[in-house]
Amino acid sequence: MRAVLCSLCAVLAPAAPCLLRAWQLGAGVIRTLCMGLALLSVCKFTEKHECVTTENGVGTVGISNFAQEALGDVVYCSLLEVGTKLNKQDEFGALESVKAASELYSPLSGEVSEINEALAENPGLVSKFCYEDGWLIKMTLSNPSALDEIRS
């Protein structure tokens, strides 16, 4: 599933912004996926469904569409502060919906360089645009080649 998702990322040309469509749980139907220019680079996914794209040694971390769909509408988001040093798999925050809560684990080692302030006012961005405006943190990577260890 994830492999197909990422090959679609690479193939689709940037288009006018459009809503990500949800997975049908169990039906495996992939609806239209449109990605912004920045995400033409390959998304990598961890086993816990964090998703990271990198550019010039900076990783942008979000959660996969599968994860946001399973979580439901995100109503609360907490993230560690800028400057926090993270090791791979360290907890860097949490997302909560009405019915569920999920901790967030860093896919790579590095330092948090930016957090998505828009989520404080509008945590629902994670649900609607998990690959675009719903990004969670940006981090400077301590080991850019470690990206290869994460599957595409």
In whole angstroms, the minimum distance from the beta carbon of 68 to another protein comes to 11
In whole angstroms, the minimum distance from the beta carbon of 21 to another protein comes to 12
In whole angstroms, the minimum distance from the beta carbon of 73 to another protein comes to 5
Comparing CB distances to another protein, the nearer of 26 and 83 is: 26
Comparing CB distances to another protein, the nearer of 82 and 94 is: 94
CA-CA distance, 151 to 95, in Å (whole number)? 23
Contacting positions for another protein (CB under 8 A): 25-26, 72-73, 75-76, 78, 94, 96-101
Comparing CB distances to another protein, the nearer of 12 and 48 is: 48
Comparing CB distances to another protein, the nearer of 51 and 74 is: 74
In whole angstroms, the minimum distance from the beta carbon of 94 to another protein comes to 6
SS3 30: coil
Contacts 24+ apart (CB under 8 A), 3-8: 3/151, 3/152, 4/30, 5/30, 5/33, 5/43, 5/45, 5/64, 5/65, 6/42, 6/43, 6/44, 6/45, 6/152, 8/33
Q: Which phi and psi angles does 9 have, rounded to 5°?
A: -55, -50
